[in-house]
Amino acid sequence: MYDNVCKFLAERFSHDFANWLLNEPIELTELKPTELSLNPIRADSLIFLQSEEIVLHIEFQTSPDEDIPFRMTDYRLRVYRRYPNKEMYQVVIYLKPSNSELVDQNTFELTNLRHQFNVIRLWEQPTDSFLNNSGLLPFAVLTRTDNPTETLTQIAAIIDSMPNKQQQSDISASTAILSGLKLDQDSIKRILRSDIMKESVMYQEIFHEGEVKGEKKGEIKGEQKATRNIALNMLRNGMNMEDIAKVTGLSLQEIEKLNSSLNTEE
């Protein structure tokens, strides 16, 4: 969920991200990971944006990952293969505070190979610059603020003053989701207007995705229950447990448990 929100913000407000990360007000367009060949490529939390001269690679992380240095090097080489004349700026943005030394790592080294990338730990960033850019507003609560609740209240006031209703709802929904990394849901609901965020396309997509997952989970549970009932009937008819496992796909251990439950009933 956090990955989807970060990708949405970076793509929708790429101008704000270029100002923040590149210190240049340049226009950026999406570069799809599939254009970089060599599958599979991990695409759930990374964003590639490009102009004619530069590729901006952003990877968002909620927690430390020891594979990050290798991945950043891998992506750099992929981009070089596709665009050898373009510069590349790579940054890992950590959203949630951590004492792990992994959040400080910005280098990958092998014999005769050394690659560096940039790291931003949001909890060390000054809050003000995030309050002055629409696309960065949802991250402000995660920055170096002494009072996250007060910061969220400031964000809510800025959102309420936005003239563009679609932008207003998208920023509100994004803020509500990312703020959940630092604040409890009751505080978020008390400060942010739910009627605004529910108009967001992104919010609706995430809500729909949750509904679909819930439906699928229910279907899976129903199928599992039906399979167990079939296995129970086979046991009642004296069928061999190994044969039941082959027919139903259940493990012998599961079937033994079902058989034990039958014996208990008797």
pLDDT score of 18 more than 90: yes
Can you read off the two tokens belonging to residue 149? 């609740």
pLDDT score of 231 more than 60: yes
- What's residue 36's pLDDT? 72
Contact 15, 28 (CB under 8 A): yes
The length of the chain, given as a count of residues: 266
User: Which residues fall within 8 angstroms of residue 2, CB to CB, at 6 or more apart?
Assistant: 60, 62, 95, 177, 178, 181
How far is it, in rounded angstroms, from Cα 14 to Cα 28? Answer: 6
Three-class secondary structure assignment of the chain: CHHHHHHHHHHHCHHHHHHHHHCCCCCCEECCHHHHCCCCCCCCCEEEEECCCEEEEEEEECCCCCCHHHHHHHHHHHHHHHCCCCEEEEEEEECCCCCCHHHHCCEEEECCEEEECEEEEHHHCCCHHHHCCHHHHHHHHHCCCCCHHHHHHHHHHHHHCCCCHHHHHHHHHHHHHHHCCCCCHHHHHHHCCHHHHCCCHHHHHHHHHHHHHHHHHHHHHHHHHHHHHHHHHHHHCCCCHHHHHHHHCCCHHHHHHHHHHHHHHC
- pLDDT top residue among 117 and 9: 117
pLDDT score of 19 more than 70: yes
- What's residue 46's pLDDT? 75
Mean pLDDT of all residues in 189-202? 68
Mean pLDDT of all residues in 227-243? 76
How far is it, in rounded angstroms, from Cα 47 to Cα 43? Answer: 8
The domains found in the chain, sorted by start residue, are 1-124 (3.40.1350), 128-199 (no CATH), 203-265 (no CATH)
Mean pLDDT of all residues in 187-202? 71
Nearest alpha-carbon partner for 83 in 26, 27, 36? 36
**Which of 1-15, 56-70, 223-237 reaches the highest mean pLDDT?**
56-70
pLDDT, tens digit, for every residue of 75-107?
999 999 999 999 999 999 999 999 999 999 999
Nearest alpha-carbon partner for 184 in 141, 144, 146, 124? 141
